[in-house]
Amino acid sequence: MFGRMRFYLALWLALLAMWASRILGRGSGSALPGKLALAIDPAILKRLARGVKRIIVVTGTNGKTTTNNMLVSILRAGGYTVVANLAGANLITGVTTAFLAAAGWRGCLQADYASLEVDEASLPGVLEFLSPRLVVVTNFFRDQLDRYGELDKTVAIVAEALQKQKQEIHLILNADDPLVAQLSIRTGRPAMFYGLTNVAVNSCSYSGADSREGRFCPFCGQVLSYSYYNYSQLGSYSCLQCGFSRPEPDVEGVQVCRARGCLSCQVTVKQGRSVMLSLPLEGIYNIYNALAACSAGLYLGLPAQVMANALAHYQTATGRLERFTYHDKQVLLNLVKNPAGFNAALQLIANVEPVPLDILIAINDNAADGRDISWLWDVDFEMLSQFAGKTGKFVCTGQRGAEMALRLKYAGMAAEQIVYIPDYEQAVKTVLQAQGRGVYMLATYTALWPVERVVNSYARRERAGSARLSPVS
């Protein structure tokens, strides 16, 4: 009886907190309710999860939110009911909030699937309460060193968490990332691999001095030999010493094309099937996200054409290349959080039209962003000098906007191009009213929320149904 009372007390107070948070405009209420519920009833997540037939977890450094949201779109298009943390709150508090919201005031939860984005460092804690049968790993990049530590430590955390699970787990792994592909061998878990053909032959991306996180074989330490890179360390690799190499993908994207802000590719499956995939998105990394989602869908038995149709109408989450219109200008808002992701975001400038673009960069150093911003010196801002005529004014803002302005100066940007404006509203207004034909906004986690709020007050959001991002995720 006491346990039941504690469950409902936790549920109702958490839902009240969610309601109050949204009414008062104090964020999306995607983390605090879960934190409150777990403090009152630590077993509430495990209890709610019993109402879900099958649990899927998506983890990795970059692309978790987009991959998970794509997978949810696919599952719902297949007619399934899905519990999901679409807003990107990926700590155990955000995962719990997703279950609380789905359970409602009566605490009754019945769903076919739970598809959950989970932070890499939080994976062991989440897996104490949930027993997923399918785990998708997107990629591993250096990220928030003061929180995660070195990359090897992050990979070890995920591998150990997967090894400890007693239930059967099938992995969906990125074949092009040696740091991810090794997990099948290290954990002994069966895996389906996805990958992407060499996109450089289609001239779809600019290749700058990319960060190469996985230069060495994870098994023998020999320098890996690459026949091509798609971005960062993702590509076709092999170890000439121990034989570790890129697994042959079960699901592969080929013939990648870009047109009018959209990407398309042919998705081939080992069994001989293929389907044309079109995405209303920019960025090669979004092809990878879509391939991960499709691989999970194929493993679960969803028809390929149903998945293609769902992804053709995919709506981005807030800050994932979200589009606005300010008068006749296109405004793009994108999250940045580590060197690999920032490089990929900058490379988009090579393809975005119309130009020149005025660019806002908002950098914070709160706990969710990482206190150490030295990673900005590992971003290839020097590539901007090769985009002659494509960039206009650079407006830097946020708690560490001054350091960002300094970094751009050292990258070779002309001093008269760079403006530092501490206030978010003034910074956004300045970049919107600049002389360029388009605007590109890049922001770290906690800077994204205030920037989005300001730009939303001046510009029209092109996709009103977008999932919203938690201020701290």
DSSP for 226-252, please give it.
EEEEEETTEEEEE-TTT--BPPPPSEE
Q: What is the pLDDT of residue 410?
A: 96
Q: What is the pLDDT of residue 204?
A: 46
211 is written with which tokens?
């960060």
Distances (CA, A) of 272 to 135, 172, 275, 322, 344: 24, 19, 10, 35, 32
pLDDT digits (tens, 9 = 90+) for 25-70: 666 677 889 999 999 999 999 999 999 999 999 999 999 999 999 9
Q: Tell me the three state secondary structure of residue 31.
A: coil
Taking phi over 0 as left and psi of -120 to 50 as alpha, with beta for the rest, 283 belongs to left
161 vs 121: CA distance, rounded Å: 10
Reference 148, options 139, 157, 136, 160; nearest CA is 157
With beta carbons less than 8 A apart as the criterion, state whether 173 and 181 touch.
yes
Q: What is the pLDDT of residue 142?
A: 87
369: annotated active-site residue: no
Higher pLDDT, 115 or 210: 115
Q: What is the pLDDT of residue 473?
A: 32
Q: What is the pLDDT of residue 203?
A: 46
Q: Is the pLDDT of residue 167 over 50?
A: yes
450 is written with which tokens?
């205030």
161 vs 440: CA distance, rounded Å: 38
Residue with tokens 């997990």: 183
Which helix (H) or strand (E) covers residue 458, if one does? helix 445-458
Arithmetic mean of pLDDT, 212-221? 88
pLDDT digits (tens, 9 = 90+) for 438-457: 999 999 989 998 999 999 99
pLDDT digits (tens, 9 = 90+) for 119-157: 999 999 999 999 999 999 999 998 877 777 788 999 999
Query: Which pLDDT band holds residue 94 (cuts at 50, 70, 90)?
Result: very high
Amino acid identity for residue 278 in this structure:
S
Arithmetic mean of pLDDT, 163-186? 96
Q: What is the pLDDT of residue 211?
A: 62
Q: Is the pLDDT of residue 201 over 50?
A: no
pLDDT digits (tens, 9 = 90+) for 205-216: 445 456 677 789
User: How are the residues of the chain apportioned to helix, strand and coil, as percentages rounded to the nearest 5?
Assistant: 40, 25, 40
Q: What is the pLDDT of residue 352?
A: 83
Arithmetic mean of pLDDT, 397-411? 97
Arithmetic mean of pLDDT, 2-30? 85
Q: Is the pLDDT of residue 469 over 60?
A: no
Q: Is the pLDDT of residue 262 over 90?
A: no
The three-state (H, E, C) secondary structure of 136-199, written as one string: EECCCCCCCHHHHCCHHHHHHHHHHHHHHCCCCCEEEEECCCHHHHCHHHHHCCCEEEEEECCH
> What's the pTM?
0.88
Amino acid identity for residue 389 in this structure:
G
Distances (CA, A) of 317 to 84, 200, 467: 13, 28, 5
Query: Which pLDDT band holds residue 315 (cuts at 50, 70, 90)?
Result: confident
Please report, rounded to a whole number, the percentage of residues in the chain having pLDDT higher than 70: 94
Among 372, 378, 380, 423, which one carries the catalytic annotation?
372
Q: What is the pLDDT of residue 23?
A: 79
Arithmetic mean of pLDDT, 396-403? 97
Q: Is the pLDDT of residue 470 over 60?
A: no
Count CB atoms within 10 A of the CB of residue 312: 14
* Average pLDDT along the chain: 91
131 vs 287: CA distance, rounded Å: 28
Q: Is the pLDDT of residue 421 over 90?
A: yes
List strands edge to edge, sheet with 170-174.
82-84, 111-117, 52-59, 134-137, 170-174, 191-196, 251-259, 262-269, 274-279
Angle at 288 (CA atoms; ends 287, 290), nearest 5 degrees: 65
Q: What is the pLDDT of residue 210?
A: 61
Q: What is the pLDDT of residue 404?
A: 98
Q: What is the pLDDT of residue 293?
A: 98
174 vs 195: CA distance, rounded Å: 6
